[in-house]
Structure formats: structure tokens, C-alpha cells
Amino acid sequence: AQTVTQSQPEMSVQEAETVTLSCTYDTSESDYYLFWYKQPPSRQMILVIRQEAYKQQNATENRFSVNFQKAAKSFSLKISDSQLGDAAMYFCAYRRGNDMRFGAGTRLTVKP
């Protein structure tokens, strides 16, 4: 079964600085999606960024970007110019068809 591993249960960053959250996954498939979801204290799951595995170019969304290393099965999230509103739980997720897997999450704290 596919698994998703987030090795950092907690991370902290100073406001305005950059932080990288790690994610690795295990799959034998070549076509799939990868996601980062943000869960603030409101509990709502908010999509941060999406990557299609067939695309070599790393996805970016404003201050959020990924480093997708398909051969290494690595999918890290970089948050630039961190803001207080970025404080949340972040989940990495893998999806292929009906199979969607989540990592255990990384709690990000942003220090003013």
C-alpha cells in the first residue's frame, strides 16, 4: 500500500523567513497527484498546492512552492516570507484514483 511520511511532527519559523516541510511517499505507480493541505485552528482543510506527477516543473503558488523529486519520491513544501497566518498543521497527500493517502502532519509555528 502506498504510504506518505512526514518526518517533522513540528517546525517553527521566524516571521518573514523561509521554511521547508518534508514529505516522502512510497508508490510503484508513475501517474498520480501530490498535494499539500493546510489545516488552521478552524480545522478546515485548505488546498495549498498541487503537483501532477507527469509534470517535471515544480508547482508554485505565490509564496508556496514545492521541490518534487519523482525518482526520490520526495515532495517538500517551501514557504517563503512566512506570515503569522501560515501557522497551521500541514498535511502532505498522495492520490491515484480512489486511493488517497495522507501523512501524519507537520505543525508549523510562526514566531513574530
Task: List interacting residues with another protein (CB under 8 A).
Answer: 4, 6, 9, 33, 35, 42-45, 47, 50, 52, 91, 93, 95, 98, 100, 102-105
Min dist CB 70 to another protein, Å, is 16
Min dist CB 91 to another protein, Å, is 6
Best CA proximity match to 92, nearest among 41, 33, 11: 33
Q: In sequence order, which residues have a C-beta less than 8 Å from that of residue 44 and are 6 or more positions away?
A: none
Name the strand (E) or helix (H) holding 32. Answer: none
Angle, alpha carbons 49-102-86 (nearest 5°): 45
Q: Which cell goes with 89?
A: 498543521
CB nearer another protein, residue 73 or residue 96: 96
CB nearer another protein, residue 44 or residue 83: 44
CB nearer another protein, residue 16 or residue 47: 47
